[in-house]
Structure 1
Amino acid sequence: MTNDTVSFGYEDVDPAEKTARVGSVFSGVAAKYDIMNDAMSGGLHRVWKDRFVRAVKPQPGEQVLDMAGGTGDIAFRLADAGADVVVADINQDMLDVGIERAMKRGIDGLVWSRQNAEELSFTDRQFDAYTIAFGIRNVTRMDRALAEAHRVLRYGGRFFCLEFSTTTWPGFKDVYDAYSHRMVPRIGKAVAGDEASYRYLVESIRRFPPMPEFEGMIRAAGFARTRVEPILGGLVAIHSGWKV
């Protein structure tokens, strides 16, 4: 891959093309996104998200930016702890689903904002914490998004990222690889009527940097005290760092 291209699944494409195609993917799956998460993970994504928010340790009155927060899964959990949450996503269709879900649950006080993770409109040092769950791998330029996360955090602020990675458990890795490549697109076709989008999502996981490499990217963005917490041998990982 050259410096002029970025990955879109197994393809290498122009950055602008990736941004547009990722937007199309999430506009297409927004309405069925949460149902598909349950179908693909057997409900485990709920456990992972609970664990993630416990790691963030949101406090009452803290200002938290939940980037790629779309349908509100992380934001609802953060708000339950009393944090003041801005839910940001580049995709308005995903935000619309989240707003509707919040209304149905009677959740008030969330701020919903359409934002590009690479060019946030927020001021420097505005937030106490920045969270992004299952979203960083879809960003066109991850280094720019990480730099923006660092910029908008106050000193002493913390960065937390929940993302799929590569499990280091040999037997489990083979089973999961076979399941994700063969079954997830089929589930996407059956549940969401969209096989291609879920094939991309599987491929995007395979192209995501291994845990040590991504931790290095977080450090390169200026974060200190970086840490990786693998789940299921690294099938999913919680990455964290502090702005000091």
Structure 2
Amino acid sequence: MLSAQGIYHVNAVEGLTVRTKISGQKIGKIPYGYQVKVIEKSDPLVIKDDGKSISGNWVKIDGKSTQIIIDPSFTESYDPKGVYVFDGYLTEQSQFIKQAESKIAKHPALKDYYLATSYKVFALKGDFFADGVQDDVFRLISPEGNVRVMAINNKKVGSDIYGLGGPKDPFGFTDYDFDYFYRVPAKTPFWSAEFNTKPMNQISKNDIKTLGYDAIYIHDGKWKGGYIYRMNKKWNLLK
């Protein structure tokens, strides 16, 4: 269980549900890896997840200090300074960092890199290589000082590492210094930012991507970024 206050990270791959109050209306989800500032602990709760019992508490968090992906069905107003989540899917920040560093240390190719913990999110998890195995993606600082994204393609036996960023980045991003950095779940429709002013039913099917595996969303909140995904053994970017 968590202490009454502090900084934590979401450890649920599918994201952590955010509600307006204890057992209240669902606002949306905070993606895996994002920081969460806990304000106060409230009522205890036990839930069932894949046949396992998970104990924790409802906790009040500062919704303004994290990234909430709003559910399309939620149309009400809410106070972002005080929303609620279940802390059974939160890991204390120092422990979350320790777990990430432990995974990185297993790969000699990353021995001179270090975790970019100054960002609110520096670790992702998902099936980014379409093989049904959960992969790890980290935002790291390279020996040259670049902010790079290193994807560990975990396999049933062994793993491979793929990098983005630096002078040879396929998209020209020397540094992955983006405000937004999270997993896009499989089968989520996404399209180019040039169509963002149009409703989905007015966008051509040829312009909509729907993958059977996960993608990565990066953006600086202004004009740079988009959806990154693997296809035909290479990284692709839909801006």
- TM tier, smaller: under 0.3
TM-score calculated relative to the size of structure 1: 0.25
Structure number with higher strand proportion: 2
Alignment TM-score, normalising by the size of structure 2: 0.26
